[in-house]
Amino acid sequence: MATPEGTTDVIPAPRAVAGTPGPPGRAVPLGRETVLWAAPGTGSTERWLRATLGAALGLPLPAGPEDAPNSVRLCLDDALEPEAYRLAAVPGRGVEIRGGSPAGVFWGAQTLRQLLGPDAFRRAPVRPDAARAVPARVVEDAPRFRWRGLMLDVARHFMPKDGVLRYVDLMAAHKLNVLHLHLTDDQGWRVEIERHPRLTETGSWRARTRFGHRASPLWEDKPHGGHYTRDDIREIVAYAAERYIGVVPEIDVPGHSQAAIAAYPELGNTDVVDTSALTVRDDWGISPNVLAPTDTTLRFYEDVLGELLELFPADAAAFSEFFHIGGDECPKEQWRASPTAQARIKELGLADEDELQAWFVGHFDRWLSARGRRLIGWDEILEGGLAPGAAVSSWRGYAGGIAAARAGHDVVMCPEQQVYLDHRQASGEDEPVPIGYVRTLEDVYRFEPVPPGLDADQARHVLGTQANVWTEVMEDSARVDYQVFPRLAAFAEVAWSPLPAPGERDFAGFERRMATHYRRLDALGVRYRPPTGPRPWQRRPGVLGRPVEGPPPSR
């Protein structure tokens, strides 16, 4: 009986791993006679084990009695923390996964998959006659943070539905539990709204696309676009919920809205520019065309959010009560020049355009709260005050997170300088379309989500952390894979595992475990950046990026 390779190479690292009593090398065999027993409430993991693990290894895993030898048993245990699990593989007894909640059982199943070796990450058996065994181990584990997120920007470059579902599976394999979908921006609107069909008929397509950073002279002169239908969104949400992943949609207001204005010109500042002449933006950067602060605009976006609240139900999975409204990078020039905007500032008794933006965000904060939902936005929404229930995505370094936590707001830490995965991974000339600071695998591994200077009460407002993937220079799924992996594995360990202080972390040990994890990623078909640098077909010679030299600011 072969013992699987990499039995201690679990990523993210579990809190405790111990051998079970008995001679070394003992293992629990899994074969066609192995049965699966699932307690009430563990049905999602039962289905996943048969459909994914069973398919990969050629194991039918039929239902059977709880006391069958070498069975796999799924149990709930309210003595454990909600997402905690205890996996015990005992020869003669089988494998038992106990979770403090159904999610905990599922995370335990992810660890079981890793213990079975890289073949368990394929879609069909490649060695159907090979003996399968789980090493005699007890793994006890629980996450450090409740919010362990990944933001996918599907607005700049559209990712078709099957690509999103694939990333849901990749997140689950790394015990991440929040998918933040950036659905709208200047360059595209990606979700069907029945009451306003031109948002996708017009707003989801641009005529051409800048290839590279906005300094690049290269263009791809063909239309780019696409959108998710309402049923696509329902499918994504349901698929993620089966894997205990919540989906948080983002609809940008009042900036980053040129695609919406191109579809419905009355949403823009018509007294300043000819909004009827606008098209979906084909270049990168920040558009000056922002939403007009009118009742027409408010009612329009209430329609949009009303439809989306039904598509993204609050009880789907972790943190699915949140709705992201962007709120960042809103140029004020058009408002300064707009008689309509100036009249609204005077009517509301506001001091300036910054307070007008705070009023705009505050309107939707109250609107969402009245419907039992929670607003979250980028850290600019702190400017001008914020309702008590709103939360903040801190992207401009640590400062926004510190200010939010000290003001009593929940915060998700996703600082640009640390966990923006569009930033380049090395300083070499072969890095494709280099953007931002160099953020190596080790840099991400040494990221600390809790900002310094917070006391214990303030630190409790840090819900967790999130890696962000902006896709301006990622024209297809292979480029997304290259930027995301392997760094997402390091980020997942930061988000899940109780690591020591950044300087004391065992990166050499993590690299040793990654040697096994690369084989899992290979089995999953992930086109990651190899440790030795990009492969020839991963390079983009001559395509200009925007590298920033030197170390990133630490705060």
* Per-residue tens of pLDDT for the chain, all 555 residues: 333 444 579 999 999 999 876 676 789 999 999 999 999 999 999 999 999 999 999 999 999 999 898 899 999 999 999 999 999 999 989 999 999 999 999 999 999 999 999 999 999 999 988 889 999 999 999 999 999 999 999 999 999 999 999 999 999 999 999 999 999 999 999 999 999 999 999 999 999 999 999 999 999 999 999 999 999 999 999 999 999 999 999 999 999 999 999 999 999 999 999 999 999 999 999 999 999 999 999 999 999 999 999 999 999 899 999 999 999 999 999 999 999 999 999 999 999 999 999 999 999 999 999 999 999 999 999 987 787 789 999 999 999 999 999 999 999 999 999 999 999 999 999 999 999 999 999 999 999 999 989 999 999 999 999 999 999 999 999 999 999 999 999 999 999 999 999 999 999 999 999 999 999 999 999 999 999 999 999 999 999 999 999 888 876
User: Is 252 a residue of the active site?
Assistant: no
Nearest CA-CA partner of 105 in 56, 68, 135, 142: 142
d(C-alpha 381, C-alpha 42), whole Å: 39
| CA 523, 529, 530, 534 torsion-angle sign | positive
At residue 462, the 3 state secondary structure works out as: strand
For residue 256, indicate whether it is catalytic. yes
Of the candidates 150, 128, 135, the residue with the CA atom closest to the CA atom of residue 60: 128
Reply yes or no on whether 185 is catalytic. yes
Which residue in 81, 271, 329, 448 is the catalytic one?
329
- pTM, two decimals, is 0.97
Distances (CA, A) of 324 to 100, 297, 377, 378, 383: 29, 18, 5, 8, 16
Contact 257, 326 (CB under 8 A): no
DSSP state of 452: T
Torsion over CA: 455, 378, 297, 342 (sign):
positive
The span from the CA of 59 to the CA of 53, in Å, is: 8
- Angstrom CA distances, 117 to 95, 108, 172, 247, stand at 16, 15, 17, 29
Residue with token string 């558009």 = 287
Token look-up 């059982």 returns: 105
Assess whether the previous peptide bond of 12 is cis (omega < 30° from 0): yes
Q: How far apart are CA 355 and CA 347, in angstroms?
A: 13
The residue from 256, 324, 461, 517 that is catalytic is: 256
Catalytic-role residue among 9, 141, 153, 185: 185
* DSSP H helical ranges for 59-217: 102-115, 161-173, 198-201
Q: What is the pLDDT of residue 7?
A: 52
Q: What pLDDT was estimated at residue 4? A: 40
